[in-house]
Structure 1
Amino acid sequence: MKPFFQSISGRFFLILFGLLLLPLLIPLGATFFFQFDSVRQGVAQQLAERTGTVERLMVEQELSFASASRYVEQSVIETTEVSADRLQTMVSLSETETETLRRNGEVAVAGTFSERPLHIRQVGERYLMATPNPDQDLVSSIRNSSLFGIGLTIAVAFFLTWFAVRLVTRRIKRISEAAVEVTQGNYDIQIPDQGSDEVANLIQNFNQMTVALQRNEYLAKDLAAAISHELKTPIASIHGFSRLLAQPGLPEDKQQHYIRIIGQESDRLSRLTSNLVRLSRLDHQSIIQRKAYRFDEQVRHALLLLESQWTDKHLILDLELAEVTVVWEEELMQQVLLNLLQNAVYFSPVNGVLSIRLTQATDVTLTITDQGKGISAAELPFVFDRFYQGETSRTTDGHGLGLSIVKRIVELHGGAVTLDSTPGQETSARIQIPQKGPA
């Protein structure tokens, strides 16, 4: 029984049972006790009057008890005459009541829930005893009806409370059982519920969680497959060309060619592992270390870092940078700029125009537009997926992680990144972030 009251079901039962029972019992109990006391006093007065009436008839009219009792109504109050010995066997008086009877010649016995009230009056050597008729006992009727009402109230409150607790905890128990299924790896489980209360909202959120876990499981499997594929290619190249280098009599030019390939594949493998580590850290990062700095100056600095790349292509820079002070994490935003600018430079044609616009309204908006081949409408929804490489990048040495990193960093700052492209003409990458980052 103790574990039940320590559970949420037991506590909820006690609270609801108390809230339901107390408003019913308090007025009922108050009415019972006040009314019972008033009725009991009235009955005691009637009993005293009855013994007084019989006594007057016996003394003043010199009638026997049998004759005197015929002159009074016996249906409501019974009056009997007993001897002292008989009185002791019929009634158990306390010492105080006995002393009151001896001193005053009469005593009122209040009675209990199981015993009727009495009024005893001494007349000579005998005693008159008046008590309510069992069939007309108003005190007993009030007592019994009140006890019945209290018992019925408790029973109704108990069953209503039990029903309410079962109704709520049954659904919570279903959630608990489903959670056990999830811990055992069953992400397909869904809890049916048609309610609209808080528990229904909890069930809806639980169902959404299982859907997200199921999707994450699929993504994890796809990610593992993609990683194994991406790692397999450079490792196989390194392994194959290293065996070729071990062949005797290999010409010098081929040796140098194989060494360059091994170096390129090693660099590719290094970049892949670095990006995976960086992306893993970003996935588990929720707090950024922000500081105020000039974002337009950071854009110019990123362009200087990539100067050799865009000058080799003889690109024309079309810059329109407003003076913008932001409160972001400078190092992470540097990674965003380098990724977006490197992509734009790589896909820009020789002698092309690289346009960069920085504005500030409600949010800070940076738009980088190149005149490359563009991205098809079918590929555009997937460009931010991890390891995704479109047709235009199949021959590149990328791994499809750059834009995933960009998206995660921008989201950490409370912003959004989008790509707009017209195949054969241009591609625009746009980031939009609150000036002070996430609220």
Structure 2
Amino acid sequence: MTVRPGRLTLRARMALITALSCVLVAGLLSLGLYVGVQRIVEQGQLSRLQAAGAILKARTESGLMFGRLDLDRLFGSDVGQDIQLRVSVDEQVLAQSPQFPGALPADLAPGVYRSGGRYVQALTLDGRGGSALLTLSLDNRGDREAREAVLRALLLTLPLALLLALSASWWAAGRMLRPIAALERTAREIGESGDLTRPVPDAGDRDELTRLAATLQLTFEQLNLTRQREQQFLRSAAHDLRSPLAALQTRVSLALSRERDSARYRQDLQEVGHDLGRLARLAEHLLLLARNPQGLGQGPVPLLELAADAVDEARSRQPERDLDLYGTALTVAGDRVLLGQAVSNLLQNALRHAPGAAVTLSVRPDGSEALLTVQDDGPGVEPAVLARLGEAFYRPDAARSGEGYGLGLAIVRHVAQLHGGTLTLDSAPGAGFRATLRLPLTARTPEPHRPVS
């Protein structure tokens, strides 16, 4: 697999995105842990200070009552030695621990404070006249140490977590992309070998990758069928082009082989013109089959009018034929030239392959569709022949001696598909032949079925 310089592979991108997502989640969790630890430590220190304040307040009030205030007697095993104390009356300090911060004012209002990296609690005392105040101070060094410990742990674990997340994501991305690598390798081998029938591995419907493999398998099968049809089309086209070209070359060679009179030259030129006409019709039919849907004309097309034009043209060529038209005025959307060619092809097919038979052309509505039907009471065709009618260049053995190329019904089917319709063929030996062209109906003039002359 080739990788463009400066571009990360899909595996690397997946691993990096997954790892960064994991680190982001870990960072958010660490931040929450850091804040939570800080809150827990702070609440613990405050609870400890308040508990010590309640004990020391009771002892201090008792000492003031008896006129003795001994700091050594105030502290016991239930009060930590890291708590500093100061007792003041009317802003005059009566007693103070050696390490009590001197920056704290003596007239603090009762309450709990944070000042200069310390927790401070001020309590009013009873038992002596005037305003007595007990002030406790607790260094928050333990709080800082806990936060620093958590921060150091996070700084050590986050890079390790990133490394582990990258490794795990790289491994997981490789496992997930392994089927895609197999699909890529198989698709490349199929493209290099041209064997579109080769199975694609892991094609199924279990997850997205297996469904992708199944889609590729179906795509290759459709491409193979398309290629087979194109090859068959080209072989048939080459075969049918060879005969008129060879006949044309032979006629020209014979005409030039020796001197002839003007009447013979005229006859030879007429035969050459006939062969050129056959080639022109074949080229026109091939162009119709190759018509691009994007170039399709769109406009209202009166279907009954097209049918009447086709019947008039057929009657002018074969006035002796029994040919009838029945219909209702219907309008479809599409290309008038292509639809006219399709109707003409259906009618000419019936006249050519059912000589002497009565032919009926009808136009009628069927729900949201317009039905154009060409039916004859001729000999009909075998089921095996009927199944292949409509394939390009297919001609039954009995019809190969004629001038057709097996493109008439193929063009009709192609025109129907271009217009969102279908062509249906029905026949049986001795039961005639019926071709039905179904097209989406856009508008209809309410009018009963009636013969149209």
Question: Shared fold by TM > 0.5?
Answer: yes
221, 228, 244: which one pairs with 1:211? 221
The residue aligned with 1:38 is: 40
User: Aligned in 2, Cα 1:146/1:188: closer, same or farther, shift over 3 Å?
Assistant: same
Residue 371 of structure 2 aligns to a residue whose secondary structure is: strand
Q: Is residue 277 of structure 2 the alignment partner of residue 267 of structure 1? A: yes
1:223-244 deviations in whole A, cap 9, x for unaligned?
2222222222111111112222
2:215 partner letter: N
User: Aligned in 2, Cα 1:132/1:222: closer, same or farther, shift over 3 Å?
Assistant: same
2:438 partner letter: Q
The residue aligned with 1:14 is: 17
Q: In structure 2, what is the Cα distance between the partners aligned to 1:251 and 1:323?
A: 56
User: Aligned in 2, Cα 1:436/1:28: closer, same or farther, shift over 3 Å?
Assistant: farther
The residue aligned with 2:447 is: none
1:140-199 deviations in whole A, cap 9, x for unaligned?
786688889978987787677556644554444444445544554633442433443344
Gaps of 5+ in 1: 81-99, 111-116, 120-127
Which moved further from structure 2: 209-218 or 359-368? 209-218
1:312-331 mapped onto 2 (5 Å cutoff) = 314-331=320-337
394, 411, 414: which one pairs with 1:388? 394
Q: Is residue 432 of structure 2 the alignment partner of residue 426 of structure 1? A: yes
1:39 partner letter: V
Gaps of 5+ in 2: 61-67, 84-99, 106-113, 121-137, 444-453
Q: In structure 2, what is the Cα distance between the partners aligned to 1:210 and 1:387?
A: 25
User: Aligned in 2, Cα 1:130/1:275: closer, same or farther, shift over 3 Å?
Assistant: closer
Residue 7 of structure 2 aligns to a residue whose secondary structure is: helix
User: Aligned in 2, Cα 1:218/1:237: closer, same or farther, shift over 3 Å?
Assistant: same
Structure 1 residue 372, shift from structure 2 partner: 3.0
Structure 1 residue 328, shift from structure 2 partner: 2.5
The residue aligned with 2:360 is: 355
1:117-156 deviations in whole A, cap 9, x for unaligned?
999xxxxxxxx999659xxx87678668888997898778
Q: In structure 2, what is the Cα distance between the partners aligned to 1:356 and 1:16?
A: 72
293, 299, 302: which one pairs with 2:310? 302
User: Aligned in 2, Cα 1:62/1:364: closer, same or farther, shift over 3 Å?
Assistant: closer
Q: In structure 2, what is the Cα distance between the partners aligned to 1:324 and 1:27?
A: 73
CA contact (8 A) 2:311 2:325 kept: no
Q: In structure 2, what is the Cα distance between the partners aligned to 1:130 and 1:423?
A: 107
Residue 378 of structure 2 aligns to a residue whose secondary structure is: coil
205, 213, 238: which one pairs with 2:248? 238
315, 339, 350: which one pairs with 1:344? 350
2:341 partner letter: Q
1:340 partner letter: L
1:200 partner letter: T
Q: In structure 2, what is the Cα distance between the partners aligned to 1:73 and 1:37?
A: 24
Q: In structure 2, what is the Cα distance between the partners aligned to 1:72 and 1:406?
A: 107
Which moved further from structure 2: 295-304 or 34-43? 34-43
CA contact (8 A) 2:285 2:407 kept: yes
Q: In structure 2, what is the Cα distance between the partners aligned to 1:255 and 1:436?
A: 54
Q: In structure 1, what is the Cα distance between the partners aligned to 2:239 and 2:397?
A: 18
196, 200, 206: which one pairs with 2:210? 200
189, 211, 232: which one pairs with 1:222? 232
Aligned sequence identity (%): 20
The residue aligned with 2:406 is: 400
Which moved further from structure 2: 408-417 or 425-434? 425-434
Structure 1 residue 210, shift from structure 2 partner: 1.2
Structure 1 residue 37, shift from structure 2 partner: 2.8
Q: Is residue 416 of structure 2 the alignment partner of residue 410 of structure 1? A: yes
359, 368, 372: which one pairs with 2:374? 368
Residue 362 of structure 2 aligns to a residue whose secondary structure is: strand
CA contact (8 A) 2:315 2:321 kept: no
Q: In structure 2, what is the Cα distance between the partners aligned to 1:214 and 1:131?
A: 79
2:428 partner letter: T
Structure 1 residue 200, shift from structure 2 partner: 3.3
The residue aligned with 2:128 is: none
Residue 428 of structure 1 aligns to a residue whose secondary structure is: strand
Residue 306 of structure 1 aligns to a residue whose secondary structure is: helix
Q: In structure 1, what is the Cα distance between the partners aligned to 2:313 and 2:11?
A: 62
CA contact (8 A) 2:323 2:360 kept: yes
The residue aligned with 2:8 is: 4
1:285 partner letter: P
Q: Is residue 109 of structure 2 the alignment partner of residue 103 of structure 1? A: no
User: Aligned in 2, Cα 1:372/1:14: closer, same or farther, shift over 3 Å?
Assistant: same
The residue aligned with 1:97 is: none
Which moved further from structure 2: 154-163 or 332-341? 154-163
Q: In structure 2, what is the Cα distance between the partners aligned to 1:394 and 1:78?
A: 118
Q: In structure 1, what is the Cα distance between the partners aligned to 2:442 and 2:140?
A: 93
CA contact (8 A) 1:13 1:165 kept: no
CA contact (8 A) 2:119 2:139 kept: yes
1:65-84 mapped onto 2 (5 Å cutoff) = 72=77
The residue aligned with 2:297 is: 289
User: Aligned in 2, Cα 1:411/1:16: closer, same or farther, shift over 3 Å?
Assistant: farther
Structure 1 residue 334, shift from structure 2 partner: 0.4
Residue 103 of structure 1 aligns to a residue whose secondary structure is: coil
1:323-362 deviations in whole A, cap 9, x for unaligned?
2122232121001011111111112222x21012211022
User: Aligned in 2, Cα 1:167/1:287: closer, same or farther, shift over 3 Å?
Assistant: farther
Residue 318 of structure 2 aligns to a residue whose secondary structure is: helix
Q: In structure 1, what is the Cα distance between the partners aligned to 2:201 and 2:102?
A: 80
CA contact (8 A) 1:78 1:132 kept: no
Structure 1 residue 268, shift from structure 2 partner: 1.3
User: Aligned in 2, Cα 1:324/1:347: closer, same or farther, shift over 3 Å?
Assistant: same
